[in-house]
């Protein structure tokens, strides 16, 4: 999970989850999207964290996948300036949509916040590259990898498909694919007669608990900026089509820019600090 206030946020009015939600994407992007889709809100979904949870893809591959998911309309990274009882701060949130959205929908959503209207006709899913066969989820790939860790636990394609929902539930509760493989192959009996039966029993009886949901405190969003998915540079919606700045669209990245500041917010924070010091002196 990301720090409180950061991490994944699901957009409203998405279509129900289906087996082939991301079949229009290349294999890597489909796998990363399916994994993010099953994570709870608040989960860290930066490239470094994803690479630790998805052993088949490194940090650079995950970063490229996030950029392409942004281009395809599934993801936008947003920088928000918040005022809470503890002061003012910038937070970065990554909004994810199982349904691919167009530029107009994202613009309306970012202007209207959590209450943005549903898109009655989401744009057709793009097809940048042909994908051979149905998209495989990280849960399916983890089950298929059991035999590489211990040949006695080799599962058939039908076994992997039947056990995929249970494995996906583990991943949704914060367990990485490598941890899932370890849980299903550690401490096996000397003879394994039915690897699928053992995998099902362990998946059902050792299911980890759902992660706790932190209760957010009251806060006011005073400013919201779209952030380039690739480099982190903030800017208005019109300057970042597809969630990418001009430099990243052309391949010339110069690193993230510092968040802009506003004099009104600084003045507000200074007054709060001065009032607190005055109260402390009066008590003394």
Q: pLDDT digits over 174-201, tens only?
A: 889 989 999 999 999 988 999 999 999 9
pLDDT of res. 207: 92
Same domain membership, residue 105 and residue 4: yes
Mean pLDDT within 64-69: 94
Number of domains in the chain: 2
Quickly state the pLDDT bin for 264 (edges 50, 70, 90): low
Query: Rounded mean pLDDT of 78-88?
Result: 74
DSSP state for residue 225 in the 8-state scheme: E
Q: Whole-prediction pTM value?
A: 0.53
Give the whole-angstrom CA distance, residue 228 versus residue 41. 20
Q: Is 192 exposed, middle or buried, given 0-12, 13-18 or 19+ CB atoms closer than 10 A?
A: middle
Give yes or no: residues 18 and 94 share one domain: yes
Look at residues 225, 217, 143, 208 and name the one whose alpha carbon lies nearest to residue 181.
143
Q: Give the lowest-confidence range in 28-32, 176-180, 208-212.
A: 208-212
Residues of the domain holding 154:
136-211
Name the helix (H) or strand (E) containing 84.
strand 75-84
Q: Quick one: CA dihedral 125, 98, 75, 33, positive or negative?
A: negative
- The residue among 85 and 57 whose pLDDT is bigger is 57
Q: Do 111 and 142 fall into the same domain? A: no
Using CA atoms, how far residue 247 sits from 65, 199, 230, 241, 255, in Å, is: 18, 48, 10, 12, 10
Average pLDDT, the chain: 80
β-strands 75-84, 87-96 pairing: antiparallel
Strand partners, 224: 80
Statement to judge: residues 83 and 45 lie in one domain: yes
């Amino acid at each position: 999970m990301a720090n409180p206030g950061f991490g994944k946020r699901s957009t409203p009015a998405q279509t129900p989850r289906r087996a082939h939600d991301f079949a229009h994407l290349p294999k890597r992007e489909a796998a990363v999207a399916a994994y993010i889709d099953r994570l709870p809100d608040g989960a860290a979904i930066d490239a470094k964290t994803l690479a630790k949870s998805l052993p088949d893809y490194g940090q650079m591959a995950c970063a490229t996948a996030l950029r392409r998911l942004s281009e395809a309309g599934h993801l936008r990274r947003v920088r928000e300036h918040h005022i809470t009882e503890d002061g003012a701060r910038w937070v970065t949130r990554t909004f994810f949509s199982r349904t691919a959205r167009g530029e107009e929908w994202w613009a309306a959503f970012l202007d209207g916040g959590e209450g943005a209207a549903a898109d009655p006709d989401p744009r057709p899913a793009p097809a940048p590259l042909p994908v051979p066969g149905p998209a495989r989820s990280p849960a399916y790939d983890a089950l298929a990898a059991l035999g590489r860790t211990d040949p006695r636990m080799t599962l058939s394609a039908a076994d992997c498909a039947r056990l995929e929902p249970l494995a996906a539930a583990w991943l949704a509760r914060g367990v990485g694919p490598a941890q899932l493989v370890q849980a299903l192959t550690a401490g096996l009996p000397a003879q394994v007669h039915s690897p699928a039966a053992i995998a099902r029993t362990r998946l059902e009886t050792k299911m980890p608990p759902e992660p706790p949901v932190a209760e957010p405190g009251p806060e006011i969003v005073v400013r919201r900026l779209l952030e380039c998915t690739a480099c982190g540079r903030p800017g208005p919606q019109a300057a970042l089509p597809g969630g990418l700045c001009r430099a990243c669209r052309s391949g010339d990245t110069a690193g993230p820019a510092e968040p802009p500041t506003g004099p009104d917010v600084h003045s507000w924070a200074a007054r709060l600090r001065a009032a607190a010091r005055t109260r402390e002196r009066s008590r003394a």
